[in-house]
């Protein structure tokens, strides 16, 4: 009984400290967490998820060093009235063990639910009243680093959403979310079974399908400006699969030159997005 009283006295006063409101221990003693499930890691990914009202959080694991830079996110979530668990102070080694080998977790990890899924019709409806809209479609681009970088570029250039094949696409967490720097919280991503039918649906909604293919006869700059565009990119090497490629309205290429005539798919996506969004109507 005496020990329990002492423990009760050591709890932070929630009236005196913003961190106290969230239950951070005053002594900041690292706690061992065996088998912790880390879905998101890295400062940008975790901050954006922590302050996203649509994200349900199970647990936040954070080192003492990282906690000092997390104050603003704590304040934003508190001011928005978001229900968040008390941050749990852990050793760096705990996060090392709970994340993929070689991951740069930056001393912070999050256990959380996936965001609510969307489908292609959701993205189309959200863009119905807009004059200009750009959607990305990835055909079997499976590397999480590439997909994460594409999501980051899509957010930066104001894309409306992204479509990937359900069978051949990485989940929106872990390395992908870290690379996207918080972009997964802002870009709607639809996982569809059949990309050819998805293109048909987009075209019926007024989207012009542009396939990025090094065999394209025109460059992006030579295409007429379109108000609504879906940019289709394929996996490096294989490119866009035949049926998806044939469904595109046009195949186009980037104006690259030898000795290096091709770009990484994430770099190509960034260049293509810039070209489309900056084109004059």
Could you read off the pLDDT of 133-187 as tens digits, one per residue? 999 999 999 999 999 999 999 999 999 999 999 987 999 999 999 999 999 999 9
138 shares its domain with 229: yes
How many independent structural domains does the chain possess? Answer: 2
- The last residue of one of the domains, among 53, 88, 112, is 112
CATH number, domain of 74, equals: 3.30.1330.30
147 shares its domain with 81: no
Chain segment 107-126, per-residue pLDDT in tens:
999 999 999 999 999 999 99
CB 82 within 8 A of CB 55: no
How far is it, in rounded angstroms, from Cα 196 to Cα 176? 25
Beta-carbon contacts of 119 under 8 Å, excluding residues fewer than 6 positions away, are 190, 192
- Rounded to two decimals, what is the model's pTM? 0.85
DSSP category for residue 225: P
232 shares its domain with 176: yes
94 shares its domain with 182: no
How far is it, in rounded angstroms, from Cα 182 to Cα 196? 29
Residue closest to 251 by CA, chosen among 279, 272, 265:
272
78 shares its domain with 199: no
Record the tokens describing residue 20, joined without a space: 């106290």
Domain span including residue 24: 2-112
186 shares its domain with 251: yes
Phi-psi region at 165: left, alpha or beta (left = phi > 0; alpha = psi -120 to 50): beta
């Amino acid at each position: 009984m005496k020990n329990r009283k002492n423990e009760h006295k050591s709890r932070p006063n929630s009236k005196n400290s913003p961190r106290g409101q969230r239950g951070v221990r005053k002594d900041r003693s690292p706690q061992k967490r065996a088998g912790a499930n880390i879905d998101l890691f890295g400062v940008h990914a975790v901050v954006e998820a922590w302050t996203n009202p649509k994200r349900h959080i199970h647990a936040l694991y954070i080192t003492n060093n990282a906690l000092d830079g997390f104050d603003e996110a704590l304040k934003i979530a508190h001011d928005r009235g978001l229900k968040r668990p008390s941050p749990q102070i852990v050793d760096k080694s705990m996060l090392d063990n709970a994340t993929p080998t070689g991951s740069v977790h930056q001393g912070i990890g999050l256990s959380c639910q996936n965001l609510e899924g969307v489908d292609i019709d959701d993205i189309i409806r959200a863009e119905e009243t807009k004059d200009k809209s750009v959607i990305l479609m990835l055909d079997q681009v499976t590397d999480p680093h590439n997909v994460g970088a594409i999501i980051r570029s899509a957010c930066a250039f104001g894309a409306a959403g992204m479509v990937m094949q359900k069978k051949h696409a990485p989940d929106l967490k872990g390395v992908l979310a870290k690379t996207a720097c918080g972009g997964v919280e802002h870009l709607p991503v639809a996982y569809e079974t059949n990309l050819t039918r998805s293109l048909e649906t987009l075209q019926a909604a007024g989207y012009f399908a542009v396939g990025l293919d090094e065999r394209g006869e025109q460059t992006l700059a030579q295409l007429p400006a379109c108000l609504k565009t879906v940019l289709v990119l394929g996996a490096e090497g294989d490119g866009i699969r035949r049926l998806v490629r044939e469904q595109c309205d046009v195949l186009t290429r980037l104006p690259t030159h030898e000795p290096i005539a091709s770009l990484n798919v994430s770099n190509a996506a960034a260049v293509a997005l810039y070209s489309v969004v900056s084109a004059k109507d």
